[in-house]
């Protein structure tokens, strides 16, 4: 098991060893984001701007305009929400080659509380033109995604969790931006998921299959652009779709799926995630149970959905 933050920064160090255009910037949380490890290897290409996320974005935009490839790090809630306006105006609008890397995705901030829970970042990032959104489920996909983001010309938002996780994918995973991955085939319904919450999905599916419910599981490391073909195929073949995300159900990953299905292949659907509420301070596992995307709640939603099929 590996912390994907460590995998992220180690991969970035290796990329920077061969690409002098890569620079890393941080908003005074480099211990948590792990970017201080990059500073030790490439001190002349690391910039800590202090607790000033809007300045961080502006400086990164300037560096990108001059041909650099800035990877800028903070917590998800700060790099997307606090710095939203300059991200829109200085990165999204001019389509600059800046990579935003957010930690503590969803409820993984746990006892840090509602100011640090990042439950609306996907909603905001989805609405920004030119942005790619990557939400990674394990350390294997994280390594591949960082490499892909460095090669992608244009703004990218990488949404990283906090907890150590076991691998979901094999080491030789063939990662491509815009591609989803079927982890398990099934015929009664399809569960679509994104990010570290895939582990709760897999726990739920194991129990459901003990009751002879056949579940197709598809992981979406890319939220934007969405792999639409796989969603539409699953809707036609299984007849019901359930989305799971560690994020608000308003305007997030599930919302994007619902928009697609409503216009193409309407089928019974449920969205599992956090409702229109601020979550309290508590251990991560307890928050998942209380606010939605835990295995026990996924199982309940699956059973409700099958009754409507």
Q: Where are the domains of the chain?
A: 2-165, 181-308
Domain 2-165: which CATH number of 3.40.50.150, 3.40.640.10, 3.30.1220.10, 3.40.50.970: 3.40.50.970
Res 6 pLDDT > 70: yes
Question: Looking at residue 47, what is its pLDDT?
Answer: 97
Q: Is 66 a catalytic residue?
A: no
CATH topology identical between 2-165 and 181-308 = yes
The mean per-residue pLDDT over the stretch 199-204 comes to: 96
**Residue of higher predicted confidence among 236 and 1:** 236
Report residue 163's pLDDT band, with 50, 70 and 90 as the boundaries.
Answer: low
Q: What angle do CA 182, 183, 186 make, to 5 degrees?
A: 80
User: What whole-number percentage of the chain has pLDDT above 90?
Assistant: 94
Name the least confident of 34-48, 164-178, 213-227, 237-251. Answer: 164-178
Question: Looking at residue 166, what is its pLDDT?
Answer: 82
**Residue of higher predicted confidence among 213 and 161:** 213
What does pLDDT average to over the chain?
96
Residues forming beta bridges with residue 46, ordered by sequence position: 24
Contact 74, 33 (CB under 8 A): yes
Task: Specify the 3-state DSSP secondary structure of 176.
Answer: coil
Q: Which of 14, 53, 85, 270 is catalytic?
A: 53
Question: Looking at residue 253, what is its pLDDT?
Answer: 98
Res 197 pLDDT > 90: yes
User: Cα 161 to chain center, whole Å?
Assistant: 8
Q: What is the pTM of this model?
A: 0.96
The mean per-residue pLDDT over the stretch 32-45 comes to: 94
**Topology classification of domain 181-308:** Rossmann fold (3.40.50)
Question: Looking at residue 2, what is its pLDDT?
Answer: 81
Which two structure tokens, joined as six digits, stand for 44?
């002349």
């Amino acid at each position: 098991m590996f912390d994907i933050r460590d995998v992220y920064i180690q991969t970035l160090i290796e990329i920077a060893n061969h690409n002098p255009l890569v620079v890393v910037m941080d908003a005074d949380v480099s211990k948590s984001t792990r970017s201080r490890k990059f500073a030790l290897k490439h001190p002349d290409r690391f910039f800590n701007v202090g607790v000033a996320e809007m300045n961080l974005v502006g400086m990164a935009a300037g560096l990108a305009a001059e041909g650099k490839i800035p990877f800028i790090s903070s917590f998800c809630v700060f790099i997307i929400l606090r710095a939203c306006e300059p991200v829109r105006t200085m990165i999204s609008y001019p389509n600059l080659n800046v990579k935003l890397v957010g930690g503590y995705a969803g409820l993984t901030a746990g006892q840090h509380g509602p100011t640090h829970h990042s439950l609306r970042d996907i909603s905001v990032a989805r609405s920004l033109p030119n942005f790619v959104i990557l939400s990674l489920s394990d350390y294997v996909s994280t390594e591949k995604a960082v490499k892909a983001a460095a090669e992608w010309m244009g703004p990218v938002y990488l949404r990283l969790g906090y907890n150590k996780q076991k691998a979901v994918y094999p080491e030789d995973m063939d990662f491509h931006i815009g591609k989803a991955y079927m982890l398990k085939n099934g015929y009664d319904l399809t569960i679509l998921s994104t990010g570290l919450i895939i582990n709760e999905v897999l726990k739920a599916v194991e129990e459901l299959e003990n009751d002879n419910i056949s579940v197709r599981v598809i992981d979406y490391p890319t939220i934007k652009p969405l792999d639409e073909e796989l969603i539409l195929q699953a809707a036609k073949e299984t007849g019901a779709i359930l989305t799971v995300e560690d994020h608000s159900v308003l305007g997030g990953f599930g919302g994007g799926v619902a928009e697609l299905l409503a216009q193409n292949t309407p089928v019974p659907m449920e969205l599992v995630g956090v409702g229109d509420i601020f979550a309290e301070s508590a251990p991560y596992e307890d928050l998942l149970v209380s606010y939605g995307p835990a295995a026990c709640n996924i199982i309940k939603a699956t059973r409700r959905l099958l009754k409507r099929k």
